[in-house]
Each structure stands twice: as structure tokens, then as C-alpha cells.
Homo-oligomer: A and B are copies of this chain.
Amino acid sequence: MSEAPKANAVVGQSGGPTGTINASLAGVIEEVCKHPEIENLYGSIHAVQGVVNENFVDLKNLSISVLEGMAGCSSAALGSSRDKPDEEYCAKILDVFKKRNIRYFFYIGGNDSANTANIVNIMAAEVGYEMRAFHIPKTIDNDLLVTDHCPGYGTAAKFVACALMGDDLDNRALPGIKVDVIMGRHAGFLAAASVLGKQRDDDGPHLVYFPERAVSMDKFLGDVEGVYTKLGRCVVAVSEGIIDTDGITWAEKLAEQKETDAHGNVQLSGTGALADFLTGQIKGKLGAKRVRADTFGYLQRSFVGFQSSVDADEARRCGREAVKFSMNEQSGSVAIKRTGNGDNYAVELVSTELRNVAEKSKTMPDEFINSEGNGVTDAFVEYAMPLTGGLPKTYFLGNYPKV
């Protein structure tokens, strides 16, 4: 391995923003400032779009107060993009890198971003341009390979858990059937997080459905009816990626206009159609009176002022570690390795090859989903709870002794 080159660096944020993607950016900035090998740190506005358009801001001269404020603020402070660069796009990126003497590329994003870093890195090697490319993981879906969990997930999980805690209290106060639709196209980690705030035996959500387990409408309605009959109320958390027994997502069956993004995905978020469809089914089949649904939508990734302290800390460390790795390695993706659990929860950061993360994704392991496919196991709670940084207690007096 040759010495770290004296050159400029670029950092970008890609894909859907999260609650802690700016913490990772702050980590990159503060660590870069410790390494004289890196002369300028360019922040690329709107990810790869900013690179090809040379839309750069200087990040080495931010004030500490902006750095710290930004680290605590949700969304992508540099802007993001859904562009999925092909070879031609990556060639343009490489041209700008050469022109600006950029030899460090830090890219915060999901598996598409790891792929972009990988392509640029391979193209640079082919033409003999010395550079270092590092991917810093972020997703609220928690679906990246190698890493134990993704920065961004803990904060989204905290939001969803607190939302369900409040919603379950609301449903205790005014009983009925409530359906909450939660983000997660292929992976149910975020829907699963809905259970993390449960404190009483009869706390909701009473049922949780994941993209990993196909469920028929009959099974779904039967489950809801069972809980409603027993408790006189029912709170259900449903992943937006919930799938029918024929393997087609319910949202897809519903979509009148199958709007797709650049990656060929059907729009799931930003619409209440699935939630309204489910309440319609429940009203029709069960004759229950008070049936409501909410689709949490973009709040799950964008809500300000509500980070998980653990997630914010880890996201920042991932940013710092990417820069440290780049001093000694040629490329890689930062991954979190869990070294302790429960009260001894701890992690260390490692690097893995870009191709191990690029374009791949994972779903919930079987051990996290109950045998009925409508709830989680203790193993999931043990896995996810530390990532929230802790949840508030809830209070309901209705089950106190009567006088």
C-alpha cells in the first residue's frame, strides 16, 4: 500500500436522508481536518450531481457551532440525489476528480452509493488514477450487508417506537382498531421497531407484519378479529412492503398508477392508499366501528430534534473511521461490528470491501420473526433496543384497582 496521497477530498450524501446522515458528515469533516494529507474537503451538493456539475462547498472552514448543530439535525445538509450513475456518468465523475486533484471520495449512502463508489474506484484503477473510495453506510431500512446495523436505523426505530407508544395510549383512551403503515420496502426492521416501547402485557402494537412473511387478507383479518375480540381494541403495525401469498406486494396490487423511480421501484411512501385499503377491508369484514389508519411517511426519516443518542454517536464515528481507513487502505465500506449486548452494548468499526455491500441487501433473519409471522421475537428486541438510545416510559391508569 502506497502512502496516502496529498490531494483533495470530496464527500457526498446520497439516497433518502436520515436522522443521522449529517452526524456521519460531521465525522468526516472533523477527521479530515486532522490529516494534512487532505488539502481541501469539498462537499458535493446533491451527491453525484454536485460532482459532475462541480457544485462544491468548502467544508474545512465551517464553524464549530455549525458543525455541531448540523450533526444533531436530520436530513442531508449537502442535499441528496436518486441518480444511479452508469459507466458514462462515472467517467464524468472521474474527469472532475482529475481536474480538481480529488483523490479521496467519501460517500454516505445505501447499497447504491456503495456501488457508485465501487464503479468509480474500479474505473480509476483501470486508468491508473490513484484514489481512495470509502462508503459510509446509512439507511433507515437497516438492510445493508456486513454491518450489524445501519446508522440512521436507530433514530428511525426510536421515532417509530415512540409513535406506536403514543398511538397505543391513544387507542387505549378511545378504543378501536388502528393500523399504522411503516416504511420498509423489502426489510421489516423498521416495522419491527414498532414493538420496542411495549411495557404492559396488553400494550400494542398487537400485530406486526413484515415484507419477509407473505400474509393473506384472510389471515390478516382473522388476526385482527382475534385481538379485537379479546381486548376490545387492536393496534396493527404494517410494513409498506407487506406481501400477499402470491408474492405480490399489497401496495403494488393497489397502485392505480405504478409510478416508479430511477431504480424501477413502485412508489410506496408518500401515499395513504395502503392504509386506507386496509381500514376498508377491516370495516367491511369485521363490522368494527372505529377503524383508523395512519401512514407515518417521511416523518420517519426527517423529523427534527429526535435523534437516538446511540445512533448519532455511531453515525459520527463511522464518518471519522472512513477517513482514518483512507489513510491506510485503498477502498472500503465502514461496517459496525457488535462486541457486546444488553447493558454491555458496544461496537467496533471495521472496513469491508465495497463489493460486499454494493447493490446487495438483507432482510430480517428468521430468528427475529415469530412463528405466526405477525410479531417479533425476544431476539429482535435484544438486537434493536440498544440502538434507540432508550425509550420513555408510558402511563395508563385504567388498569389500576377500582375503588
Which residues of A line the B interface, CB within 8 A?
Answer: 13, 16-17, 22, 40, 42-43, 45-46, 55-59, 62, 66, 69-70, 72-82, 162-163, 165-167, 169-170, 172-174, 178, 197, 269-273, 275-276, 279, 291-299, 301-306, 391-398, 400-403
Asked, given contacts A40-B403, A272-B271, whether A75 binds B166 with beta carbons under 8 Å apart, the answer is yes
Choose from B45, B279, B398 the contact partner of A270 (Cβ within 8 Å): B279
* B392 x A304 contact (CB < 8 A): yes
Query: Contacts of A292 on B, CB cut-off 8 Å?
Result: 269-271, 297-298
* A395 x B169 contact (CB < 8 A): no
* B170 x A57 contact (CB < 8 A): no
Asked, given contacts A174-B81, A271-B272, whether A57 binds B400 with beta carbons under 8 Å apart, the answer is yes
Query: Contacts of A306 on B, CB cut-off 8 Å?
Result: 162, 305-306
- In the complex, what's the smallest C-beta–C-beta distance from A13 to chain B, in angstroms? 8
Task: Give complex CA distance A120, B347 in Å.
Answer: 61
Known: A58-B403, A69-B395, A70-B395. 9 other contacts (CB 8 A): A16-B174, A75-B173, A270-B293, A271-B276, A271-B293, A272-B273, A292-B297, A292-B298, A294-B297
* B174 x A299 contact (CB < 8 A): no
Query: Contacts of A56 on B, CB cut-off 8 Å?
Result: 402-403
Task: Give complex CA distance A302, B164 in Å.
Answer: 9
Query: Contacts of A57 on B, CB cut-off 8 Å?
Result: 397-398, 400-403
Asked, given contacts A273-B276, A279-B270, A298-B294, whether A305 binds B162 with beta carbons under 8 Å apart, the answer is yes
Interface-centre pick from A17, A22, A70, A173 (highest chain B CB count, 10 A): A173
Query: Contacts of A397 on B, CB cut-off 8 Å?
Result: 43, 45, 57, 59, 62, 70, 77-78
* B17 x A174 contact (CB < 8 A): yes
Task: Give complex CA distance A66, B199 in Å.
Answer: 14
Interface-centre pick from A22, A46, A77, A273 (highest chain B CB count, 10 A): A77
